[in-house]
Amino acid sequence: MRGQGNIGTAINVAGNNLLTNNGLISADVSGGTLNITAPASGGGSSIVNNNILEARNGGTLVISTNVNNAAGQINAQNGSQVLQNSVTITHGTLGSNGTGVIAASAGLTSCGVRPWRPDSHRTGHDQRQPSRPDQHAKGM
């Protein structure tokens, strides 16, 4: 799935729901935003990312639901940003390239996350809340 808009917003759904990404979800419209929200209003709703969630081409990916990222990557490519909106990201890889930014809100928790490095040089930018030393992102 590519582009801008909303993924996961539930309409009249009861119980816990799960969105599983086995391919590519890419916010790739310059100046556009792709929002990933909980697939339902239930507290157990979340996303399993088995491949790639990314922002590229000047797009913004906003993640507003917990992500089990054990088999996946979350990337901010050059000129793009990934915004983590008070979510828990478990395992997997977070990364940025060039001027790509991964920005975390105050409620972010990342457990077992590995940094991603496309080359041997540290590139990209991380933005963490100073009061949250438990946040993990590229190069930390």
pLDDT digits (tens, 9 = 90+) for 1-20: 899 999 876 555 566 677 89
pLDDT tens column, 99-137: 999 988 765 555 555 555 444 333 344 444 433 334 444
**Is 33 among the domain residues?**
yes
Task: Domain count for the chain, please give it.
Answer: 1
91 versus 130: the higher-pLDDT residue is: 91
Largest distance between two CA atoms of the chain: 48
**Is 140 among the domain residues?**
no
46 versus 94: the higher-pLDDT residue is: 94
Asked if pLDDT for residue 25 goes beyond 70, the answer is yes
pLDDT of residue 109: 55
Taking CA 139 as the corner, what is the angle to CA 67 and CA 4, rounded to the nearest 5 degrees? 40
pLDDT of residue 126: 45
For the segment 21-35, the average pLDDT, to the nearest whole number, is: 97
pLDDT tens column, 41-76: 555 668 899 999 999 999 999 998 889 999 999 999
pLDDT of residue 124: 41
> Is the overall model pTM greater than 0.85, yes or no?
no
- Residue 105, Ramachandran bin (φ over 0: left; ψ between -120 and 50: alpha; else beta): beta
**Is 76 among the domain residues?**
yes
Tell me how far CA of residue 32 lies from CA of 58, 61, 66, 108, 109, in angstroms: 8, 9, 22, 23, 26
Q: Domain of 109?
A: 5-9+16-88+104-127
**Is 64 among the domain residues?**
yes
**Is 139 among the domain residues?**
no
**Is 22 among the domain residues?**
yes
